[in-house]
Amino acid sequence: MFVVIMTGFFIANENFLSARNIRIVMGITPEYIIVAIGIAILMISGEFDLSVGSVFALVPMTMVQLVHQGMPPWVAIALGLSIGIAVGFVNGFITLRFGIPSFIATLGMLYIARSLTTVATGGFPPPFPHELPNELFVFQFEVFRASLFWMLGVAFIAGIMLHRSNLGNWIYSTGGDTAAASSMGIKTNNVKMFCFILCGFLAGFAGMIQTFRIEAPLPSQGYLLELESIAAAVIGGVSLFGGVGTIFGAAIGAILIRFLESGIIMARIDAEWFRAGLGSLIIISVVFNTWVVRRGENMVHKNQAEENENNSQNNETVTESKDE
């Protein structure tokens, strides 16, 4: 799918894969990948977060306003990121404590956090304070920005955690079947809470990178990002029902969305078609994923049917000896 789309746009405009265009797209993509990673992990644990787009704006806005209040930049960054953690905690607490769907709890948080961001501007967006060490996060190298390396770091740590650590095993089992996981002694609520917090933190961290890049804290930043990051995760093979997905898949999903956007512009198609393209991409990739899984299962069932035939002789003798 990735290859098909990339080739298609390359044919439409050969500059699509030029260093310049890759530089532009990869300059903005890391932020989206980081959010998608957080969402993917949370979805694998069986929950949702619709508030990431609002947290994406609230966290950097908090940092900027704190610096304007005269706070040292690093303290402001730490406090800002802890807002992301706090929102994640509240999302998790409401969902798990009151047993309501995370869809609803975080939908509420979507509005609350967005509203707080606007209130924090006091009416108009503040200027970007240059005391903040934004070069560290977004410095433009030859082709890539520093944010790419931060993203790779996040992806590496998240990948090890999810795919290689026992915590990852708990996350998959919690999302796969919460009752089974807890009967095996997994504290499923703690696992989910961890994922909510991680998701909030990563959304805030990514929002900070975007604000540092454009050097303007906008209250509208990350509008509709929650749906786009769920889309990225789903395109990358994360299941809506939990228990299935990879970090790599979510990252590819996010990259694909950004290149789709850029490709449509480069192919001189009206940019309004981006959303239609994104919509089709979501549907096609999920249908495709489902088809692949079904096909795999059918093959296995066929093999099993044959094996059962072969074993039936043995089983019947066992039954007879038991009845005696």
Partner 1 sequence: MSNENIIECKDLNKYYSGVHALKNLSLKIKKDSVVGLIGDNGAGKSTLIKILSGAHSPDSGHIYFEGNEVKFKSTKEAMNLGIETIYQYSALIPQMSIARNIFIGREQTTFSLGSIGLMKTKSMDKAAMDALNDVELHLRSPDTPVNQLSGGERQGVVIARAMYFKSKVLILDEPTNHLSVKETNKVLRFVEGLKKQGVTSIFITHNLSHVYPIADHLCVMARGEKIADLAKEDTNIDELTDLLVNG
Q: Is the dihedral of CA 96, 45, 301, 292 positive or negative?
A: positive
100 binds partner 1 (CB under 8 A): no
Token readout for 22 is 């890759």
53 vs 168, which CB is nearer to partner 1?
A: 168
Element (DSSP H or E) covering residue 135 = helix 135-138
73 binds partner 1 (CB under 8 A): no
69 vs 310, which CB is nearer to partner 1?
A: 310
At how many degrees (to 10) do helices 247-266 and 2-12 cross? 20
272 vs 323, which CB is nearer to partner 1?
A: 323
323 binds partner 1 (CB under 8 A): yes
Give the footprint of partner 1 on residues 154-173 (CB under 8 A). 160, 164-170, 172-173
224 binds partner 1 (CB under 8 A): no
- What is the closest distance, in whole angstroms, from the C-beta atom of residue 233 to partner 1 in the complex? 16
220 binds partner 1 (CB under 8 A): no
4 vs 179, which CB is nearer to partner 1?
A: 179
- What is the closest distance, in whole angstroms, from the C-beta atom of residue 87 to partner 1 in the complex? 24
117 vs 239, which CB is nearer to partner 1?
A: 239
* Amino acid of residue 65: Q
Q: Is the dihedral of CA 173, 178, 181, 186 positive or negative?
A: positive
164 vs 275, which CB is nearer to partner 1?
A: 164
Token readout for 169 is 């095993």
- CA–CA gap between residue 233 and residue 216 (Å, rounded): 28
Give the footprint of partner 1 on residues 278-297 (CB under 8 A). 296-297
In terms of C-beta density within 10 A (0-12 exposed, 13-18 middle, 19 or more buried), how is residue 3 classed? exposed
| Among 33, 39, 181, 197, contact with partner 1 (rule: CB under 8 A) | 181
271 binds partner 1 (CB under 8 A): no
108 binds partner 1 (CB under 8 A): no
219 binds partner 1 (CB under 8 A): no
243 binds partner 1 (CB under 8 A): yes
220 φ, ψ (degrees, to nearest 5): -90, 0
Q: CB 84: neighbour CB atoms within 10 A?
A: 30
143 vs 299, which CB is nearer to partner 1?
A: 299
- What is the closest distance, in whole angstroms, from the C-beta atom of residue 125 to partner 1 in the complex? 41
- CA–CA gap between residue 281 and residue 253 (Å, rounded): 10
233 binds partner 1 (CB under 8 A): no
The CA-to-CA distance between both ends of the chain, in Å, stands at 60
Q: CB 302: neighbour CB atoms within 10 A?
A: 10
**Are the beta carbons of 191 and 45 closer than 8 angstroms?**
yes
What does the angle CA 228 – CA 233 – CA 239 come to, to the nearest 5 degrees?
A: 125
302 binds partner 1 (CB under 8 A): no
180 binds partner 1 (CB under 8 A): yes
310 binds partner 1 (CB under 8 A): no
- What is the closest distance, in whole angstroms, from the C-beta atom of residue 77 to partner 1 in the complex? 25
**Are the beta carbons of 50 and 114 closer than 8 angstroms?**
no
190 binds partner 1 (CB under 8 A): no
| Among 177, 267, 274, 286, contact with partner 1 (rule: CB under 8 A) | 177
- CA–CA gap between residue 319 and residue 182 (Å, rounded): 35
Q: CB 107: neighbour CB atoms within 10 A?
A: 16
**Binding region for partner 1 (CB under 8 A):** 160, 164-170, 172-173, 176-177, 179-186, 239, 243-244, 296-297, 300, 304, 308, 311-312, 315, 318-319, 322-323
